[in-house]
Amino acid sequence: MEYRTLGRTGLQVSTLSLGGAAFGGQYGAVTAADVDATVGAALDAGVNLIDTSAFYGAGRSEELLGEVLAGRRERVVLCTKAGRLTRSDFDFTPAGMRKSVEGSLRRLRTDRVEILLAHDIEFATDYEQILTETAGVLHELKAEGKCRFIGMSALPLGLLRQAIERCNLDVVISYCHMTLQNGRLRSELLPTATQFGVGVINASPLAMGLLTPGGPPPWNPAPPAIRAACCAAADHCAARGVNLATLGMQFTFAQSAIPTTLTGTSRPAELHANLAAMATPPDPQLLAEVLAILATVQGQSWPTGHWRGPT
């Protein structure tokens, strides 16, 4: 396993990290045994960063991680997120953030996490409040020892840039912007993050299921044109005897400027497939063909939350 430095935090994190959304049942039913086996296999492979959230499974992801990490908590750089409670319920107020964090720490069976983020801030109704009050309570929680480092997550790169520039953050999570279909993370976020010493965690390398043979789940917000292009890419790969998801993971892991990429796996077989993709480069000819198929939607995103600035 390769390790890279996460911004100015000094944390050495595995280039492949484990996303906890699947542990909360976001992509299908999962058992405690599944989580235990997957986390154990990840730790054995050298994965040391695990991300979760109070949102995933209404806290179930955190509960399961609290159980399976008992006795091996010190082996993990643990990240959780606060402020998002359900798909439509958000509370980024200082009181709401504090309540969310206390619940997370209780479920995770720990007195602090390494990284604490405000989750999906594009769904806020008052962005000035996010960049002032929410940022302020994150700094307070850091000073109180509830976390070592703080940050925010969001889809729109324009919003994340503002957060980096104004909030003295340590870490951000960007999702769906370092994929076969959208590589804008490199040009539109990394330069700002590097300037401010902020570590970037890349998430959703398969664009929340878009870049898979089976296609995205119903809740994926991508518009029809992006869905159709990704489906065509999946069909092209299948005709070549290749899984589009494998190619997508190979492509993302080949980006050396990205400190770490979260992979939302809930079973050891999925983890091992991602580890194998990390160890092998993409076929250049097939990659070129797939990028050509996706050219008409390359770099396109979608509006999300209440944000109507640059996506």
List the structure tokens of 203: 């998430």
List the structure tokens of 256: 């050396």
Question: Does the active-site annotation cover 175?
Answer: no
Which residue among the candidates 3, 56, 127, 175 is catalytic per the annotation? 56
Q: How far apart are CA 262 and CA 121, in angstroms?
A: 19
Inter-residue contact 153 to 118 (CB < 8 Å) = yes
What count of Cα atoms within 13 Å lies in the side-chain half-sphere of residue 117? 29
- CA triplet 21, 303, 253: central angle to 5 degrees? 45
- Map tokens 């050509």 to a residue: 292
- Alpha carbon of 132 to those of 110, 128, 166: distances in Å? 28, 6, 9
Element (H, E) at 216: none
Inter-residue contact 157 to 185 (CB < 8 Å) = yes
Residues in the chain: 311
Q: Which residues are catalytic?
A: 56
